[in-house]
Amino acid sequence: MKRFTSFIGRVRQAVTGDYVKYTLIFLFMMLLVYFYLLFAGMITAPKFTYAEF
């Protein structure tokens, strides 16, 4: 248990406000790219189906 609490203490010292800020910015940018790629395929989908031929 002592190892675990000392590990948590080191992590808290290493994580600063800047680290959290830049991590959240990076996460937000990755989510934007993901949602763009997700919905870009829907926008460019054909308006008809091949069964209509």
Locate the domains of the chain by residue range. Answer: 17-44
Continuous segment of H or E residues that includes residue 52: none
Which residue, among 37, 32, 28, 15, has the nearest Cα to 7 in the 3D structure? Answer: 15
pTM as predicted: 0.59
> Residue 52 has what pLDDT?
60
> Residue 51 has what pLDDT?
65
What's the CA gap between 9 and 26, in Å, rounded?
Answer: 25
Average pLDDT over the chain, rounded to an integer: 83
What is the tens place of the pLDDT at every residue in 29-53?
999 999 998 888 776 666 776 766 6
Measured in residues, the chain has a length of 53
The pLDDT > 90 percentage for the chain reads: 30
